[in-house]
A and B are shown apart, each in its own frame.
Chain A
Amino acid sequence: MTRLIWTRARKRAYGAAVIALLALLSLLMWPDAAWLQAAGKPTPGHENLQCSACHMAAPGELRQQLQASLRYFLGLRESPAPIGNADVANSACYACHERPTEHHPLSLMGELRFLDVQTEHGVHNCTGCHQEHHGVRVTASPTICSNCHSDDLVVNDPITPDHAALFASGKWDSCLRCHDFHGNHQMKTGDYNYPSTLEQGVASQDVLDHLGAGKSAYGPVLHPAKQAVSPK
């Protein structure tokens, strides 16, 4: 086999390829075009975030990380070592979204009695329900409440229809019409902290829009995110 033969046609072809690759390299190195490298559209409100806001550098330098990964692969190390960037931890989310009132704190979601739900839905991590790069606020199903609350019994139930009826009919998608998950919105209606009928609550489509990328359905926020991020 001889070395590569450079015919005129081949030179032209690979010349075009080199130009295309240089253009790609420039694009990859241009800071303002970093959004092109994301895995998907940002969550509403995260448009102005840099990658490093959530993707912190993994401990060690690249060689150490590669070496640790190789050792893990060969069974010489207990745990894998992330290469490049560490897993996105809850602390990255808390940097902006920590609030004093939280109806579903991660300390509760992380309790061992919820292990099944943790395994299936990752509820002990923010990213279990709020996966980034999907262009929506919430990636979990709106019926996720059924995983923990299916045996709940509400004493002196003030709502119509009552919770038992709603649970029995499997209307788990109606929970979010009256209860905002994190308790970060003012839902008070009359004397109650929550609406007492579904009609007083948020419309189903509005809930779905809110969980997607649409308008916020729940009214004013009690504790806004620490960094004010606004769409471009």
Chain B
Amino acid sequence: MAAGYATADEISASTGAASYCGSCIQALTTLTGDPGGTPVVVEIERIGGDLLVVTLKPIDGANFPQRHVSGGHVVLSIKDEKGWVSRPYTITSPPEEVDRRVLVVRCLTSGRMGRVLARSHGNARARIGTPRGDAFARLKRRRATAFLVAGVGLTPALAALRAKNGPPVAFVHASFREQEPGLERVLADACAPRNVPITVLNCKVVGLQSASDFTALARKHPGIDWFICGPVGYEKAVRIGLRAAGVSSARVHAEQFVASSSPGDSPPARIRTQAENNWAKTGLWLVAAWCAWAVLPPYEAWSEWQSSDAWRTTTGLILIALIAWQWVFPSLRGRGGLGRARRLELWHRAIGALSPIALLLHQRDLAHGLLCTLSILFVANTIVGSLDKTCVSDASHRERYMKFWLPTHVATSCLITALSVWHVIMVVTYRGGAS
């Protein structure tokens, strides 16, 4: 910038930043405040679900000043309420098309670019940077390459299929988590002119592809190169599978889509997993069961059984252990042990969801005074825990929600812990009648 490069595109061109993976492009855009590049008109075609085909044409109707190579990528920048948002995308249109650049984008509304594109109307204005990169640089043009792609990772395959002088494609093996008719159609249309065999798998029907599936596939097609593009887990499975089939790493190529963000951006909002969702629902149902118990008349036999000292001591100790255990996760997380903390997070949710059962077993009735308060706080905390940030899908709303949720959850947890300790002291030091 001191040398006079004012836009992100200029800095990228001069330094090479964002030319490899593109993940720092947003940082550059935020830093400079100007993405640079060619002003374009954005045409959006929704091809099903959250998938868009984005066609970019220069505003002035002229051709793009630079051609790209097949397998290259370009930075698309659009303005939103916070400023410019820039993301790199693989160009799927052939280099010969100089008047347009076509991108295939999965529009996730949990991401900033996704939200902008989702809101975009026809002929929105954007900027497109200088094309960079060459994902196929290492491919030998004399050898056919099989494209193993998953989800929106098929864009390099499209780029290869559509380019006149692109690498020879042996076949395309595409895996999609759900039925993606839009992507399948785009892929089939690209394969048809060159008669490239294509296999499309719907993972919901056949299951996720494992390493052994790719081993079997590699054994059926010796002597070719392999190009992988998809989520990290998919790529890992493919690499393991190919290695097991004896494919040399020199013949395995990949393009990874790296998340792009900067300190000014909200981090991508993590979506609740199925397991987390199930535990949250379990917790809420158990709270409902506890509320029903609190309201209904007591069951005499249960009441008598719960009156025994041995039972109350045992269930009390279980409750104390549960409460103590629940502090392990935030303690690890607070000390930056994110890896271990993440593994414990599901346990934290599970124990929290199941804790009303432990409370039901221990308490005979709603008691009185501070004991009643402890019970209510305990159950309320289960509700609060079940309604954590992952139930808010929008990232900016999530940030606002966390400002209320975290202090509530932490304060309630601290109160529960303190009241539990108080309760234990009272039980030990205040005894009933002599036996």
Partner of A1, one of B336, B408, B414, B434: B336
Tell me if A40 and B367 are in contact (CB < 8 A). Answer: yes
Which residues of chain B come closer than 8 Å to A95, judged between CB atoms? none
8 Å CB interface, B378-435 against A:
402-403, 406-415, 418-419, 422, 425-426, 428-435
Looking at B18-26, B115-123, B314-322, B368-376, the stretch in contact with chain A turns out to be B368-376
| Chain B residues positioned under 8 Å from A21 (CB to CB) | 414-415, 418
Binary contact readout A109-132 vs B (1 if CB under 8 angstroms, 0 otherwise): 000000000000010011110011
Q: A28 in the interface, Cβ–Cβ < 8 Å?
A: yes
Partner of B368, one of A3, A5, A13, A40: A40
9 cross-chain pairs, A with B, having the tightest CB-CB distances, nearest first? A84-B429, A127-B433, A36-B369, A16-B407, A17-B414, A13-B410, A87-B434, A16-B411, A17-B411
Q: From residue 12 to 65 of chain A, which have CB atoms closer than 8 A to chain B?
A: 12-17, 19-21, 24, 27-28, 35-41, 51, 55
Q: A12-B406, A36-B370, A39-B368 are in contact. Are A87 and B431 (CB under 8 A)?
A: yes
Q: Is A87 in contact with B432, judged by CB distance below 8 angstroms?
A: yes
Q: Find out whether the CB atom of A87 lies under 8 angstroms from the CB atom of B433.
A: yes
Query: Is B246 in contact with chain A by the CB < 8 A criterion?
Result: no
A9 at the binding interface (Cβ < 8 Å): yes
Taken together as a complex, chains A and B put the C-alpha atoms of A63 and B371 apart, in Å, by 27
Q: Are A12 and B369 in contact (CB under 8 A)?
A: no
Q: Are B415 and A24 in contact (CB under 8 A)?
A: yes
> Contact between A89 and B434 (Cβ–Cβ < 8 Å)?
yes
Cα distance, A84 to B428, chains bound together (Å): 8
Q: Is the C-beta of A171 less than 8 angstroms from some C-beta in chain B?
A: no
Question: Is A86 interfacial (CB-CB < 8 Å)?
Answer: yes
Q: How large is the interface on A (under 10, 10 to 19, 20 to 34, 35 or more residues)?
A: 35 or more
Would you give the shortest CB distance from B321 to chain A, in whole angstroms?
A: 20
Inter-chain CA distance A99–B412, complex, in Å, is: 49
Given A9-B402, A38-B369, 5 additional A-B pairs, CB 8 A: A16-B408, A20-B415, A28-B422, A36-B370, A125-B433
Can you offer 21 A-B residue contacts whose CB atoms are under 8 A? A1-B332, A9-B406, A12-B403, A13-B411, A14-B410, A15-B407, A16-B410, A19-B411, A24-B415, A24-B419, A37-B369, A39-B367, A39-B426, A40-B368, A85-B431, A86-B431, A88-B433, A89-B433, A127-B434, A132-B432, A135-B368
B contact residues, total (Cβ < 8 Å): 35
CB of B410 within 8 A of CB of A85, answer no
Q: Say whether B335 faces chain A, with CB atoms less than 8 Å apart.
A: yes
B370: A residues at CB distance < 8 A: 27-28, 36-37
B337 at the A interface (CB under 8 A)? yes
Asked whether any CB of chain B lies closer than 8 Å to the CB of A83, the reply is: yes
- CB atoms of A88 and B411 under 8 A apart: no
Docked Cα-Cα span, A51 to B432, in Å, equals: 12
Residues on the A chain within 8 Å of B411, using CB: 13, 16-17, 19-20
Q: How far is the CB of B207 from chain A (nearest CB, A)?
A: 38
Q: How far is the CA of A99 from the CA of B134 in the complex (A)?
A: 102
Q: Scan residues 59-97 of chain A and give those whose CB is less than 8 A from a CB of chain B.
A: 82-90
**Is the pair B336, A5 in contact by a Cβ cutoff of 8 Å?**
yes
B334 close to A (CB within 8 Å):
yes
Docked Cα-Cα span, A36 to B374, in Å, equals 12
Contacts of B368 in A (CB 8 A): 38-41, 133, 135
- Given contacts A2-B335, A12-B406, A14-B410, A24 and B434 within 8 Å (CB-CB): no
Q: Do B410 and A4 touch across chains, with their CB atoms under 8 A apart?
A: no
Nearest-Cβ distance from residue A46 to partner chain B, whole angstroms: 13
Cβ of A103 < 8 Å from any Cβ of B?
Answer: no
Query: Would B432 and A5 count as touching, CB distance under 8 A?
Result: no
The answer on a CB contact under 8 Å between A84 and B430 is: yes
Chain A contacts for B412, CB-based, 8 A: 20
Q: Which residues of A contact B414 (CB under 8 A)?
A: 14, 17, 20-21
A82: chain B residues within 8 A (beta carbon) = 431
List B235-278 residues whose CB lies under 8 Å from chain A: none
Chain B residues within an 8 Å CB radius of A17: 407, 410-411, 413-415
* Per-residue interface assignment for chain B, residues 343 to 384, with 1 indicating a CB less than 8 Å from any chain A CB and 0 otherwise: 000000000000000000000000111110000000000000
Partner of A125, one of B371, B402, B431, B434: B434
User: Which B residues lie within 8 Å of A125 (CB)?
Assistant: 433-435
Q: Residue-by-residue, is A196-209 near B (CB-CB < 8 Å gives 1, otherwise 0)? A: 00000000000000
Chain A residue contacts of B415, Cβ below 8 A: 17, 20-21, 24
Check A128/B369 contact, CB under 8 A, given A4-B334, A9-B406, A10-B334.
Answer: no
Contact digits for B160-201, partner A, Cβ 8 Å, 1 yes 0 no: 000000000000000000000000000000000000000000
Within the assembled complex, what's the spacing in Å between the Cα atoms of A3 and B425? 31
Instruction: List the A side residues contacting B432 at CB < 8 Å.
Output: 87-88, 127, 131-132
A85/B433 contact (C-beta < 8 A), A4-B334, A16-B407 known: no
Distance of A130 Cα from B86 Cα, bound (Å): 75
Q: Smallest Cβ distance from A181 to chain B, in angstroms? A: 17
Q: How far is the CB of B26 from chain A (nearest CB, A)?
A: 22
B369 touches A3 (CB 8 A): no
Q: Name the residue on B nearest A129 (C-beta).
A: B433
Q: Which B residues lie within 8 Å of A131 (CB)?
A: 432-433
Q: Please, which residue of chain A has its CB at the minimum distance from the CB of B406?
A: A13
Question: What residue in chain A is nearest B419 (Cβ atoms)?
Answer: A24
Q: Please give me the residue from chain A that is nearest to B340 by CB atom.
A: A1
Q: Which residues of B contact A35 (CB under 8 A)?
A: 369
Q: CB distance A126 to B433 under 8 Å? A: yes
Known contacts A16-B411, A37-B370, A85-B429: does B336 contact A2 (CB below 8 Å)? yes
Complex: A39 Cα to B412 Cα, angstroms: 21
- How close is B85's CB to chain A, nearest CB, in angstroms? 24
Shortest distance between the CB of B33 and any CB in chain A (Å): 25
